[in-house]
Amino acid sequence: MFILFGWGKTTTNNLGPVFENLCTHCNSKEYWNLVKMRVWFTLFFIPVIPYETKYFLLCPVCEYGIKLDRQKYEELKPLAESNTALINGRITQTQYVNQISGGSSVNTISAGNSGQCSNCNQQNPTGTKFCKNCGSRVSA
């Protein structure tokens, strides 16, 4: 009797587009995808135990990417899920706006620092949860 085991099987989970970004590698301006990659220990060619997890934002054209930490991945995950739901028709535009903005109007720019991204200083619409420029969570 013998046991076949291995490691290195990689699975990829593409959560969908997050925000539009200019790729410095291929010079295309596209919506980058939030991706989770796992490397598995296998038993009889069946993935059993994940031993490494990596998070990325990837250009959909050339797959050049930015490595993220788990916290940043978790911050961007709701945005990617909402964008994917809108693209696939599972939610309406109104539902999408409510999910992203927390139910408040997104048509007016707020005064002061409310809606300003602490990462890139982009001014965002009132009530927006995520920066329209870099995808970071916006401070209230």
Which pLDDT tens digit goes with each residue over 74-86?
Answer: 999 999 999 999 8
Percentage with pLDDT > 90 across the chain: 32
In whole angstroms, give the CA distance from residue 122 to residue 53. 31
Which pLDDT tens digit goes with each residue over 16-72?
999 888 888 999 999 999 999 999 988 888 888 889 999 999 999 998 989 999 999
Q: What would the two tokens of residue 93 be?
A: 């535009």
At residue 114 the predicted structure's pLDDT band, cuts being 50, 70 and 90, is low
End-to-end CA distance of the chain: 62
Token pair for 113 = 């620092």
Other CB atoms within 10 A of residue 22 CB:
11
d(CA 79, CA 18): 6
Residue 39 has what DSSP assignment?
A: E
State the pTM of this model: 0.67
What counts of helices (H) and strands (E) characterise the chain?
Answer: 2, 4
pLDDT > 70 fraction of the chain, expressed in percent and rounded: 82
